[in-house]
Amino acid sequence: MRFIAELQLQHPKLLLTPTIERCPEMSIKLEYQLIASGGEYVLLFHVRGAAFEAFEAALADDPTVSAVSTVIETSTFRVYRTQPTSPEYLVLASAVEMGLRLLEAVSGDSGWYAVLELPNVETLRSFRAFCSDRGVSASIQKLYRIEDGSTGGAFGLTPSQREAITTAYEAGYFNQPRDTSLEGVGERLGISSSAAGGRLRRGLRTLIEETLYTQSQTTVTSNY
């Protein structure tokens, strides 16, 4: 028996929080947490949006990171490499060290939404106590129990992503014209409109990657 927990993490000194607050329209996803030679953490972030100039200006002023560089640059997304200035607030890295598995970490509501897989509820309590000792708010948004052998959701969706997509569909969000707005979907889910939009985007992206994109890749491969 395992569990999936979805947490909202908030603290002014959490990684990239000043940038997230200045550029809430930009979507930031943690890609990798690495330990480079010398024991220093190196982190990669995948960023999407339409205001990269403002984002990079905020990033340059952000006291939580240093040694920022651009790894990949396209018209729709960029990948940045950074180093944290204070390891004390690398709570997600500590979560992994405590035995939790980080499934996803994305920006939202002046902080981070993290999806973690854990072996038992006691581990989650220990992680939240660890955050509390540092003044970090780690509020539980969702907690699911999954059976052994389960991936946690069809097509790679987290439970909250599946809930957001089905709720939006049932409310007529995908109709033309729409029968409801993101605010309406958020109200049904009990979350903010920005959080609802983030869950929908991530869920739909996962659906495309797991179905349409995978099928197209398979078709191309079979022609050789």
- pLDDT, greater one: 179 or 191: 179
How far CA 142 is from CA of 30, 72, 102, 137, 193, in Å, comes to 20, 33, 15, 15, 17
Write down the pLDDT at residue 189.
84
DSSP three-state, residue 21: helix
Give the pair of three-digit tokens for residue 115. 């999806």
Q: Over 50: is that where the pLDDT of 91 sits?
A: yes
pLDDT of amino acid 146: 75
Report the pLDDT value the prediction gives residue 153, as an integer from 0 to 100.
Answer: 54
Ranking 29-38, 128-137, 187-196, 210-219 by mean pLDDT, the lowest is 210-219
Q: What does the pLDDT look like over 102-145, one tens digit per residue?
A: 988 999 889 999 999 999 999 999 999 999 999 999 999 888 88
In this predicted model, what pLDDT tens digit does every residue of 12-59 receive, in sequence order?
A: 999 999 999 999 989 899 988 887 666 788 999 999 888 999 999 999
Confidence band (pLDDT; 50, 70, 90) for 211? confident
3-state secondary structure (DSSP) of residue 146: strand
Q: How many CA atoms lie within 13 A of 137 on its CB side?
A: 12
Question: pLDDT tens for residues 73-83?
Answer: 998 899 999 99
Domains identified in the chain and CATH numbers:
2-146 (no CATH), 154-222 (1.10.10)
